[in-house]
Amino acid sequence: MTLTHTFHIPVMGIGYTIDTPIKVAHLGISSVLSLGDDMLLERLREHYAQKFNFDFTPISKSDIDKRAKRITEYLNLVNKIVNVKFQELRNSVFEKATELRKYMEMLPDVSSLKQEYNRMLQEQEPLTRKRLQDSIKKSIQPGSIDVNVMTKLDRINYNSKGEAYPVEYNDAHAAVRGFANSELQSSLVLSAGLSPRLFSYIATFESFFPDKNGNLTKKIILKVSDYRSALVQGKMLAKKGIWVSEYRIESGLNCGGHAFASEGYTLGLILEEFKQNRQDLIDTTHQLLNEALKSIGRPVLNTPLEMKISAQGGVGNFNEHRFLSEYYRIDSVGWGTPFLLVPEVVNIDKENLSLLTNAKEEDLYLSGISPLGVPFNSVRGNSKDKQRDERIKKGKPGSPCKSQFLKLYNTEFTEKPICEASSQYQKSKIQELNAMHITDVREYQKRYNKITEKTCICTGLVRTAYSENKILKSSDEDGVSICPGPNIAYFSKISSLEEMVGHIYGRINILNDTYRPNMFMKEFGMYVDYIEKEIAECSINEMTDKQIKHFNTFRDNLLAGIDYYKTTLPLFDTHTQWKSELEHYNQRLQLLNIPTHITA
C-alpha cells in the first residue's frame, strides 16, 4: 500500500488505540491496534456490530481457540466498517464539511494527490473539473489497519485440569493466528524483542509468504531499537522465507509506554546507521529470502520486495518531521503521544484528558509500575496509581489478577507463573522481606516500595476503551493507567483530528509556551539522567566488572552521540540552545563516578 500520509499513529497502551482505525482509516490515516486483550476485543465487537448493524455471534468461552477466533472476528468487523465508511466517502461529493473534503484537506501539501485536488478546486470548466474529481476518487485509499503483538507476552494457557495447552495456544501465538486468519491485508507489528519460536510459527501461515509476483497479503513490521537488532531479526525471518516490509525504529526512552533503553545509543546515530546501511540490509535479507524460498519450493524473486524505514519517539513539530523524512529518508513518522489530546481519535476519559493537558515536565517520569520489570513512562496523579496507594494504606497491596495476561515468568512462590502486580505475589514478597528483619527503616521502605509500586496495567490500560464506548460493567476495574511520552508536556490543547494533522504538516502550531528542546536533545538528556540514576543506585566499592564495563560503554556511546550531533543538528535546528545543552550534558558525563580499573 502506498502511503497517503507521511505519518502513522502507533499503538498506545492496549485500549487507547484499540478502535482508532474505525475513526481514521477511511480518511487515509494508518494506525496500529493492540491484540493484547481478546476479552476487550470481544466486547467491542459486540458494541460495534450493534452500532453498525452487523450480526454478532459470541465466541464461546469454552472454545479452546477462543482468543484467536475473537481476534479474527474483531479484525474482520473493523475491516468491514472501514470499507463501508470509505465507500461512503468515495461516493460523496466535494462539498464543504463532507468526509471527502476532510480527507483531501488533511493531505500533506507536497503530495501529488493534494496538488491535483487544488487544481480541481481552481478549475472552472465543468467537464475537466468532473474528470479531475473522478481521478481523485479513484486514487484515494484507506489507511492501513495494522496490529501489534508484543512477542514476549506469550503466556502459557491451561485447561480446567491445570494441564498446559499446546504452544500454539499461547497468547502471542494465538494473536498471530487470529491476524493471519483475518481478512485484513495489512501489517503485523512485532515489538518487545526477538522470539525465534514465534518467528517459526509465523512461517506456518501462507499469507506471510510472497506470491510469484512478489505480492504479500500480510506484511511484517519489526519494531527495533538499533540496526544490529534489525539485521539479526531480519536475517532470521528471511531464512524462513519471511520478508520484513518495514523496520520501525523507536527511541529507547523518549516514547510512550514501556521504555527499552539502549546502551547509550541515541536516536540520531541509530537513524544514521540505518541510512548508511539500508541497501546492505535489503541485499543481505533478499539473498537469504531467495535461498529459503528456493529450498521450500517457492518461486524466487528477481528483485527485492519493498522495504520501508519508519521512526517514532518524541517528534513534536513539522521541522523535526520533515528532517526525519528528508535527511534520514524515513518513509513514515510515528506521532503517538500528542494524539492522546485528540478524543475523536483515541479512547481517553475526561479525568486523564485534564491530567494530560495540565502535565508539566516534572509530572512525567520513567516509573517502575510495570510488572514486566521494564521502565514504564507514566504521569503523576493517574487514577490507577491513586487506587494502588489506597490499597497500600489499607494494608492490601497488590491487585486482584483478573485478566492474567502478565502471568509470564515469576515462579518465586508458585509452580505456575504469577504476576508481580498481583496481591498474591506482593503478599508473599512482603512476608519474605519481613523475614529479613531489616533494621534500617529507609532500606526497608525502599525495598517495600519497589515491591508495591507495581500496578495491574492489564486492566489499567484498557478501562478507557470500556468507559468511552459505554460498555463498562460494575465489575470492571476503576483505575486507569496512562503512559504518555515526555512530549505531552509541550502539548496542552485538546485538539481535533484536523488540527493535529495541520500541526504535523506545519500548517498551524498547537505547542504550548513551555520551552521544548528538539527531539534529539530531549532524548539525550533522558539518557544522561538514566545513566546517572543507574550509577547512583550502585555502591562504588561493590561495583562489578560487568557493571563497570556497561557504564563505560554507555558513557562512550553518549560521547560519540555528542560528536555526531555537533555536525548534524545545524542541518535542521537553527536555534543555538542545543549547543549549550550538549555542552551541559558533556560536563555531566565527564563527572560520572565510574571506577577506571577492571579487575582481571
Q: What is the spatial distance between Cα 483 and Cα 499, in angstroms, rounded to a whole number?
A: 23
Q: What is the spatial distance between Cα 486 and Cα 359, in angstroms, rounded to a whole number?
A: 9
Q: What is the spatial distance between Cα 551 and Cα 532, in angstroms, rounded to a whole number?
A: 10
Our measurement of the distance from residue 369's CA atom to the centroid of its chain's CA atoms, rounded to an integer in Å, reads 18
* Cβ atoms < 10 Å from Cβ of 587: 9
pLDDT at 1 over 90: no
| Residue 110 is assigned to a structural domain of this protein | yes
Report the b/e string of 519-552 with b at 16+ CB within 10 A: bbbbbbbbbbebbeeebeeeeeeebeeebbebbb
Confidence (pLDDT) at 599? 52
Q: Sign of the C-alpha dihedral, residues 100, 101, 106, 112?
A: positive
Q: What is the spatial distance between Cα 81 and Cα 183, in angstroms, rounded to a whole number?
A: 12
Place 540 in a pLDDT band, splitting at 50, 70 and 90: confident
For range 229-238, the mean pLDDT: 97
Place 598 in a pLDDT band, splitting at 50, 70 and 90: low
What nine digits make up the cell of 470?
459505554
Place 3 in a pLDDT band, splitting at 50, 70 and 90: low
pLDDT at 112 over 50: yes
Structural domain including 140 reads: 1-146
pLDDT at 2 over 80: no
Place 407 in a pLDDT band, splitting at 50, 70 and 90: confident
Q: What is the spatial distance between Cα 578 and Cα 567, in angstroms, rounded to a whole number?
A: 12
Neighbouring C-alpha atoms within 13 Å toward the C-beta of 336: 25
Place 302 in a pLDDT band, splitting at 50, 70 and 90: very high
For range 363-385, the mean pLDDT: 93
- List pLDDT tens digits, range 19-74: 999 999 999 999 999 999 999 999 999 999 999 999 999 999 999 999 999 999 99
Q: Sign of the C-alpha dihedral, residues 192, 194, 198, 202?
A: positive
Q: What is the spatial distance between Cα 542 and Cα 130, in angstroms, rounded to a whole number?
A: 77
Q: Burial level of 333, CB count in 10 A (0-12/13-18/19+)?
A: buried
What backbone torsions phi and psi does residue 164 show, to the nearest 5 degrees?
A: -70, 135
Q: How much of the chain, in percent, has pLDDT values that exceed 90?
A: 88
Q: Comparing 173-182, 416-425, 488-497, which segment has the lowest mean pLDDT?
A: 416-425
The conformational region for residue 181 under phi > 0 = left, psi -120 to 50 = alpha, else beta, is alpha
- List pLDDT tens digits, range 304-318: 999 999 999 999 999
| Residue 136 is assigned to a structural domain of this protein | yes
CA-CA-CA-CA torsion for 575, 577, 583, 584, nearest 10 degrees? -160
pLDDT at 596 over 80: no
* Cβ atoms < 10 Å from Cβ of 21: 28
Q: Sign of the C-alpha dihedral, residues 261, 264, 269, 273?
A: negative
pLDDT at 242 over 60: yes
pLDDT at 473 over 90: no
The conformational region for residue 310 under phi > 0 = left, psi -120 to 50 = alpha, else beta, is beta
Our measurement of the distance from residue 341's CA atom to the centroid of its chain's CA atoms, rounded to an integer in Å, reads 17
Neighbouring C-alpha atoms within 13 Å toward the C-beta of 490: 17
Pairing of strands 187-191, 219-224: parallel
Q: Which residues contact 122 (CB under 8 A, 6 or more apart)?
A: none
Q: Angle at Cα 280 formed by Cα 279 and Cα 283, nearest 5°?
A: 85
Helix (H, G, I), strand (E, B) or coil at 120: helix
Q: What is the spatial distance between Cα 236 and Cα 285, in angstroms, rounded to a whole number?
A: 9
Place 96 in a pLDDT band, splitting at 50, 70 and 90: confident
Q: Which residues contact 280 (CB under 8 A, 6 or more apart)?
A: none
For range 545-563, the mean pLDDT: 95
- Tally of structural domains, the chain: 1
Place 415 in a pLDDT band, splitting at 50, 70 and 90: confident
Q: Are 99 and 89 contacting, i.e. CB atoms less than 8 angstroms apart? A: yes
For the chain, give the mean pLDDT: 94
Place 600 in a pLDDT band, splitting at 50, 70 and 90: very low
For range 320-332, the mean pLDDT: 97
Pairing of strands 364-367, 376-379: antiparallel
Q: What is the spatial distance between Cα 313 and Cα 486, in angstroms, rounded to a whole number?
A: 10
| Residue 387 is assigned to a structural domain of this protein | no
* pTM attached to this predicted model: 0.95
- List pLDDT tens digits, range 172-206: 999 999 999 999 999 999 998 899 999 999 999 99
Tell me the DSSP string of 560-595: HHHHHHHHHGGGT--SSHHHHHHHHHHHHHHT----
Widest Cα–Cα separation across the chain: 88
